Amino acid sequence: MTLDIRTVASSELHNEMMRLKQERHMDFLVNLIGMDWGEEGGLGVIYMLESSKTGETAEIKTSTMDREHPYLQTVSDIWQIANIYEREVYDFYGIIFLNHPDMRRLFLREDWQGFPFRKDDKPEEENPLRMDNEPLADTTKEYFINADGSVGVKENVIFAPDDYVINIGPQHPSTHGVLHMRTRLDGETVTKIDPVLGYIHRGVEKISESLTYPQTLALTDRLDYLSAMQNRHALCMCIEKAIGLEITPRVQYIRTIMDELQRVASHLLYYGALVMDVGALTAFFYTFREREMLLKIFEDNFGGRLIMNYNTIGGVMYDIRPDFAKQVKEFEKALRKRFHEYQDIYSTNIIALNRMVGVGTLSQEQAISFGCAGPTGRACGWHNDVRKRHPYALYDQVEFKEIIREEGDSNARHLNRMDEMLESLNIIDQLIDNIPEGDFQTKRKPIVKLPEGSFYQAVESSRGEFGVFIESKGDKSPYRLHYRSNGLPLIAAMDTACRGEKIADLIAIGGTMDFVIPDIDR
Amino acid sequence: MFDFSIITKWFHTLLTGVMPEWLAIGIECLIVLLFIILLYAILAIALIYAERKICAFFQCRLGPNRVGKWGLLQVFADVLKMLTKEIIKLRQTDLLLHDMAPYFVLTASFLTFACIPWNKGLDILDFNVGVFFFIAISGIGVVGILLAGWASHSKYPLIGAMRSGAQLISYELSIGMTMLTVIMLNGTMQFSEIVQQQADFGWNIVRGHVPAVLAFLIYLVAGNAECNRGPFDLPEAESELTAGYHTEYSGMHFGFFYLAEYLNMFICGAMAATIFLGGWAPIYFPGMDGFNAVMGYIPGFIWFFGKAFFVVFLLMWIRWTFPRLRIDQLLSLEWKYLMPLSMINIILMALVVCFGLTL
Amino acid sequence: MALIRKPKIKSIPYEDFKDNESLEKMIDELNAHGTNVVVASLDKLINWGRSNSLWPLTFGTSCCAIELMALGAARFDMARFGFEVTRTSPRQADVILVCGTITNKMTPVLKRLYDQMAEPKYVIAIGGCTCTGGPFTKSYHVVKGVDKILPVDVYVPGCPPRPEAFLYGMMQLQRKVKIENYLGTVNRKEKDPYKEEAKQLKKEIFNQEEKA
């Protein structure tokens, strides 16, 4: 069923958004998607809002017909995450948001010519490979409407000339990928962080517009490679719901078990990376020992260690082996037996507690305003688990607790993930012995064409809410495919969480936020 | 216990028999210098190999085992490679200071190396203010690190060097005070005298019971911090500041920093063995004469190396277990906890010695 | 006299390696000039040391970096070869394992990292993305193969390659290092470009004065 998107005129946008936030309590901006509807529709934005209290959702659309100087009103004063999202839309479509305090490109180089996601843009011709260093500006522009209706430009300062700014990254042992944070320091204390993204921007959304639906599946595994199964599950579910394809119960069981196994693998690696950042290197090897057992299961049954390419539209690629249940149960026993080692060596260590308790605190309002879903948001007291809010697969039929903590500091985030690992094992326990017989793939037409409309599906990946938005015009390729990244809100929240902390804390906070950069840059 | 001064006296009379005094002493100095350098290199190689294997066993994997049987030749390959790497000269650094910095650290290492009593009669530098000399010399290493960070003309090494300077200066206080405790117990600052008294009356850690054990623990923590290792390795924190104060060094200059780190750890262990655990003195229980005679046959330097390597093993164990402390936590540990504790310990030791409560 | 012979890797026979032809071509070229005995034996010793102690630089952009971490972990353990000392500063590293996709924005950074490394240095391109662009060849922002920016010594294909494939690639690099002619060829020191320019300018002025 397609989404019901309401159109709002661009001059009324800010007032309407303010009304939605205050009266219907829509404080969670799930998606802000830039669109190019061509000559008839113009350039525009789709907003997807949700209320954290009532669970009510709303979808709004706005557009402007001016392709030379497209202007829209900003909503970055209503939701803090819109600051980053609108920069992304400016980067890809060229839409300038009025009164946005920091109108710069987000992913592409500052001297990039053109706007690649527009349908008439030719990115490769205008932008050959440049070997010179990118000039990173210290000031940024803000556009506003003058009293007489014309558009004026104001300069805002990011870093003053006297500031002591160091570059953390892009090549850095612990930024979990290539993230570049320009950090202003006052001695050892961090006073401002300006993240520079885009070092692994591969243009997956733009590539997908020229691929058929089965071909787009191959790229999802490589976005957030630690939640590879869950990402592909989201895309397959979205397409299946759009074409109305029923999948067999056996496939539902396999997919749910797969998702939970993937969650355990991801949290094991999160723990290993965190202790590596903080300095206790030995625990990293212990978690990898368990993770290797899990990767062996993945390899035997699903075909790959890290990139599995297992879900397809209508089912899964091959059937599981007959001893799958036995393998999983053995792994579970080994993990439960050794779980206390992780707590002993790190989580209860006095030095580790000193490094994590009270450090990098986010309040619940800030987490919701930034849209930090996943264990990070749940550590601030926000009930945001997609498996409970909008259940999919078999999550409405299994019993599991949603792990919530109230403090919002690094320790809470860390313990959340540790507990979630055990919860995942409980879910697998309930399902592993009851996998029904049946087909592992539903028959479908070889060429997949989605009906006209917009579709959205979210899953609870290991890091938060990963969503897939497809707008289709009835072809065999998507007109627009957008992935809701679960790491982008976390990066946006880093500035708020790290103000006033030391450099060492910045690394530890980054470790507990647990973002994966290719998922942010797409 | 075999007294090595027999050999040294014999050698000296042999040489002065055939040549004037000054030439004999010159040749002896040369031999001692070669001995120190050789021992330095061998110990460094042994320690690096030991660290890699021990850390591998803690982390449930095998260490180097392909290069030579059990991986024994691995460090030799590393040394060969280090010698043949290009030494990068940067245009923006202060070249003189940048090149001098590793030598400062190396010199401090060598000089402290020379203070240690290896066996009865086998000491190289034996002043009557030995302990004082040792503490003074270890300060030169701080200068080397600060120079390295400053002369590299780059932000990461500067932050690393500043942290390291603050850390090393603070922890030298604790080391000084724990050594003061031992001096009070033995009544002398001369290293050979300290060990001789332990050979006669029992190890300091046993003789001084409560205050000595406390001093030993404080010394372990402070010595760990002095070596920039373990939970206190913030200046070269690999996962935070790329490589800290030695980011801009390559080739043999980096090799010197690398060696000096391991040797500093050994010297910390050797010092702990000398002043707390008895140096080259064997274990002796009063009344068990047969046991004591057997222990007496094992040469002194075997005891010494055994004890030093035991302390080094403790330091390695601590390093691979605990996470890193933040700089303000590190400094507050020293100034708010360790220093008052060591001052109270000094008073305790004074009471113990004055009232003759030693064992 | 043919002083350089086939490179040996412990416990894997020479025939099991895939690309022996390019190594044999290198050996023939080096043998054509001939060397004297002393330099050749010294070369052999130094090459033994260098090949057994290749320190990688921690550089990973995407999925292949996770397999690099798994390589360092206990199951595959690259420490057995002596590679576990991954240095974080490029000045102290020998080989850069380019793991993960390289984009247009990352290119100047990677080139700068490579330039900062001390000679002798090597590059291993790991994964499909660094060999040719991988699954992202249609993208406007991906460099189609890292050999457009850096001189690559070994290519390890795969998406991602298994850790055993990483080790195989490093062993191929070890074989290549073992046959290199160290003294005189590989141990070059990078020349200061300003000084070179100044020398060039001085020569030109001298030549002009000669003509006049």
pLDDT, tens only, C1-44: 445 667 777 777 777 777 777 777 777 777 766 666 677 778 88
Strands A96-98 and A139-145: unpaired
Instruction: List residues bridging with A36 in a β-sheet.
Output: A43
Which CATH number characterizes residue C163's domain? 3.40.50.12280
Nearest to A225 among C63, C88, C111 (CB): C63
Which CATH number characterizes residue A103's domain? 3.30.460.80
In a domain, A237, yes or no: yes
The size of the A-B interface in CB pairs under 8 A is 79
Please return the burial class of C151, using the count of CB atoms within 10 Å of its CB with bins 0-12, 13-18 and 19+. Answer: exposed
Ramachandran sector of residue A61 (left: φ over 0; alpha: ψ -120 to 50; beta: rest): beta
Residue with tokens 């839409």: A95
Strands A57-64 and A71-73: unpaired
- Segments forming the whole domain that contains residue A146: 6-158
**What is the SS3 assignment for B191?**
helix
Nearest CA in chain A to B160: A188
Give the closest-approach CA distance of A177 to chain C in angstroms: 5
- Segments forming the whole domain that contains residue C23: 15-186
Residues from chain C that touch B247, judged by Cβ atoms under 8 A, are 89, 91
Residues from chain A that touch C67, judged by Cβ atoms under 8 A, are 305-306
Question: Tokens standing for B231?
Answer: 């939970």
Residues from chain C that touch A116, judged by Cβ atoms under 8 A, are 140-141
C192 at interface of B, judged by CB pairs closer than 8 A: yes
Regarding whether A345 and A252 lie in a shared domain, the answer is yes
- The CA distances from residue B199 to B175, B207, B287, C183, in Å, are 23, 11, 15, 54
In a domain, C169, yes or no: yes
- pLDDT value, residue C1: 43
- pLDDT value, residue B243: 60
- Residue C25's identity, in one-letter code, is K
Residues from chain B that touch A507, judged by Cβ atoms under 8 A, are 239-240
Which chains have 3+ CB pairs within 8 A of C?
A, B
Question: Tokens standing for B15?
Answer: 């040489």
* Low-confidence residues in chain A, pLDDT < 70: 1, 172-175
Number of domains in chain C: 1
User: Residue A114 and residue A126: Cα distance in Å, rounded?
Assistant: 7
Q: Is the dihedral of CA A324, A327, A333, A337 positive or negative?
A: negative
Say if the Cβ atoms of B324 and A166 lie within 8 Å. Answer: no
Regarding whether A487 and A349 lie in a shared domain, the answer is yes
In a domain, A79, yes or no: yes
User: Residue A278 and residue B237: Cα distance in Å, rounded?
Assistant: 9
Which chains have 3+ CB pairs within 8 A of B?
A, C
Give the closest-approach CA distance of C208 to chain B in angstroms: 30
Say if the Cβ atoms of B159 and A503 lie within 8 Å. Answer: yes
Q: Hey, of B55, B61, B224, B240, which one would you mutate to test binding to chain A, going by the most A CBs within 10 A of its CB?
A: B240
Say if the Cβ atoms of B321 and A502 lie within 8 Å. Answer: no
- pLDDT value, residue B218: 93
Say if the Cβ atoms of A502 and B326 lie within 8 Å. Answer: yes
Say if the Cβ atoms of B60 and C192 lie within 8 Å. Answer: no
CB contact at 8 A, B212 and B276: yes
What DSSP state is assigned to residue C182?
A: I
In a domain, A194, yes or no: no
Give the closest-approach CA distance of B61 to chain C in angstroms: 5
In a domain, A391, yes or no: yes
User: Residue B288 and residue B32: Cα distance in Å, rounded?
Assistant: 38
Regarding whether A218 and A134 lie in a shared domain, the answer is no
Cis peptide before A116 (omega within 30 of 0): no
Question: Tokens standing for B261?
Answer: 């780190």
Say if the Cβ atoms of A116 and C75 lie within 8 Å. Answer: no
What DSSP state is assigned to residue A41?
A: H
A282 at interface of C, judged by CB pairs closer than 8 A: no
CB count in 10 Å sphere of residue B137: 19
How much is the ipTM here? 0.85
User: Residue A193 and residue A496: Cα distance in Å, rounded?
Assistant: 9
- pLDDT value, residue B11: 81
Regarding whether A385 and A246 lie in a shared domain, the answer is yes
A339 contact partners, CB below 8 Å, separation of at least 6: A421, A422
- pLDDT value, residue B98: 86
Question: Tokens standing for A26?
Answer: 């829509």
What is the DSSP track for A201-230?
A: ---HHHHHTTS-HHHHHHHHTTTSGGGHHH
Nearest to A288 among C73, C138, C160 (CB): C73
Give the closest-approach CA distance of B325 to chain A in angstroms: 7
In a domain, A169, yes or no: no
Say if the Cβ atoms of C62 and A222 lie within 8 Å. Answer: yes
- pLDDT value, residue A150: 79
User: Residue C16 and residue C102: Cα distance in Å, rounded?
Assistant: 31
Question: Tokens standing for B254?
Answer: 């980096």
User: Residue B97 and residue A117: Cα distance in Å, rounded?
Assistant: 53
In a domain, C104, yes or no: yes
Strands A43-50 and A28-36: antiparallel
Minimal CA–CA distance to B53: which of B62, B66, B45? B62
* Angle at alpha carbon of residue B149, lines to B143 and B152, rounded to 5°: 125
Residues from chain A that touch B159, judged by Cβ atoms under 8 A, are 166, 188, 503
Across the beta sheet with A28-36, what order do the strands follow?
A6-7, A57-64, A43-50, A28-36
What DSSP state is assigned to residue C150?
A: S
In a domain, C102, yes or no: yes
Say if the Cβ atoms of A503 and B240 lie within 8 Å. Answer: yes
- Residue A421's identity, in one-letter code, is M
In a domain, C64, yes or no: yes
Question: Tokens standing for C103?
Answer: 């984009």
Nearest to C62 among A123, A305, A518 (CB): A518
In a domain, B62, yes or no: no
In a domain, C191, yes or no: no
User: Residue C93 and residue C121: Cα distance in Å, rounded?
Assistant: 8
**What is the SS3 assignment for B61?**
coil
Give the closest-approach CA distance of C32 to chain A in angstroms: 38
In a domain, C6, yes or no: no
User: Residue A93 and residue A112: Cα distance in Å, rounded?
Assistant: 13
Regarding whether A461 and A361 lie in a shared domain, the answer is yes
Q: Which residues of C touch A (CB under 8 A)?
A: 58-63, 65-67, 69-70, 73-75, 88, 90, 100-101, 103-109, 111-113, 135-136, 138-143, 148-149, 159-160, 162
In a domain, A400, yes or no: yes
C-alpha of B204 from chain center = 19
Backbone angles phi, psi at C79, to 5 degrees: -65, -20
**What is the SS3 assignment for A178?**
coil
Say if the Cβ atoms of C82 and B60 lie within 8 Å. Answer: no
User: Residue B172 and residue B142: Cα distance in Å, rounded?
Assistant: 10
Residues from chain A that touch C138, judged by Cβ atoms under 8 A, are 207, 210-211
Q: Is the dihedral of CA B269, B270, B272, B277 positive or negative?
A: positive
Say if the Cβ atoms of C104 and A269 lie within 8 Å. Answer: no
In a domain, C194, yes or no: no
Q: Hey, of B322, B327, B330, which one would you mutate to test binding to chain A, going by the most A CBs within 10 A of its CB?
A: B322
Residues from chain B that touch A278, judged by Cβ atoms under 8 A, are 239, 323-324
Nearest CA in chain B to A347: B323
Regarding whether A105 and A229 lie in a shared domain, the answer is no
A507 at interface of C, judged by CB pairs closer than 8 A: no
Instruction: List residues bridging with A312 in a β-sheet.
Output: A315
Report the mean per-residue pLDDT for chain C. Answer: 82
* A128 HSE (CA, 13 A, CB side): 3
Nearest to A292 among C75, C104, C108 (CB): C75
B85 at interface of C, judged by CB pairs closer than 8 A: yes
Minimal CA–CA distance to A301: which of A328, A330, A271? A328
Residues from chain A that touch B324, judged by Cβ atoms under 8 A, are 278-280, 351, 355, 504
Residue with tokens 């320190």: C55
pLDDT interval class at C190 (50, 70, 90): low
- pLDDT value, residue A448: 85
CB contact at 8 A, A136 and A166: no
- Segments forming the whole domain that contains residue B167: 90-354
User: Residue B145 and residue B166: Cα distance in Å, rounded?
Assistant: 11
pLDDT, averaged per 10 consecutive residues of chain B (359 residues), comes to 77 81 85 88 90 88 84 88 83 81 88 84 81 87 86 79 86 90 87 85 81 91 87 70 72 85 90 87 76 77 89 91 85 90 91 81
**What's the residue count for chain C?**
212
Minimal CA–CA distance to B160: which of B246, B262, B98, B254? B246
Backbone angles phi, psi at B200, to 5 degrees: -80, -45
Residues from chain B that touch C194, judged by Cβ atoms under 8 A, are 91
**What is the SS3 assignment for B216?**
helix
Question: Tokens standing for B218?
Answer: 């404080």
Q: Hey, of C55, C59, C62, C164, which one would you mutate to test binding to chain A, going by the most A CBs within 10 A of its CB?
A: C62
Nearest to B81 among C49, C87, C194 (CB): C49
Backbone angles phi, psi at A359, to 5 degrees: -105, 135
